[in-house]
Amino acid sequence: MAKGDTFFLRTTIKSDGTNYVSDDIDISAYTDPARGRVLVVDKGFITFNTDAGGPVLAADIDSVIGGRTMGAQACSEKQTALLDTSNNSLFMRSNLYAANTVNDAGGVGTMGLFEETSALNPAEYVGGFIVPTDAIHVGIDATVAWTGEIDVGFMFEVHTEKLSLQRIQELLVSLTAN
């Protein structure tokens, strides 16, 4: 449950073949971690669209037949690759799986599978997820390049909070447990 006034932070990143692509949402204007003022994520959402802004189509997956995957994450620390869910800075994760099949003699692909596994999407936290840094890091990665690049959108409902010294110490202990 959100405390006080909430607001939204958003960003979109575009896939780039099989490269890890990332962005940092600067939250330094809302926080002062040294004095206990932190940003708290109450809810978060990840969306997948074509780079033209519409839904993912068979032509975005492959021109004929083939499968594609994409992982997306949000973290409280800068990353260079997708993380395992055991990493303490990871607070949102989603995977997209899509494949085309051939249903005619001409070899034209049609979407045969479109599955999103979202163990942490949408993310909703009782009491919120505390971001003890000055940025929210978001990143995406594909194992095989998509025929059409994919735009991945991230939206967070957040609020700011002042932590007690005891709560800051507890947080530091939990973040260094990796």
Q: What is the pLDDT of residues 65-119, one digit of tens each?
A: 678 899 999 999 999 999 998 898 899 999 999 888 766 555 556 777 778 877 6
pTM: 0.86
Cβ neighbours of 96 (radius 10 Å): 22
Cβ atoms within 10 Å, residue 70:
22
Q: Which of 158, 171, 127, 155 is nearest to 41 (CA)?
A: 158
User: CA–CA distance from 61 to each of 26, 64, 72, 167, 173 (Å)?
Assistant: 32, 9, 17, 46, 43
- For 24, the token pair is 């940092």
Q: For the ranges 12-16, 29-33, 135-139, 164-168, which has the lowest average pLDDT? A: 164-168
Q: Return the pLDDT at 104.
A: 56
Q: Which residue has the tokens 């959108």?
A: 153
| Helix/strand/coil for 128 | strand
Question: How long is the chain?
Answer: 178
- Contacts of residue 106, Cβ cutoff 8 Å, sequence gap at least 6: none
pLDDT confidence band for 140 (50 / 70 / 90): very high
Output the six-digit token pair for 67. Answer: 């499968």
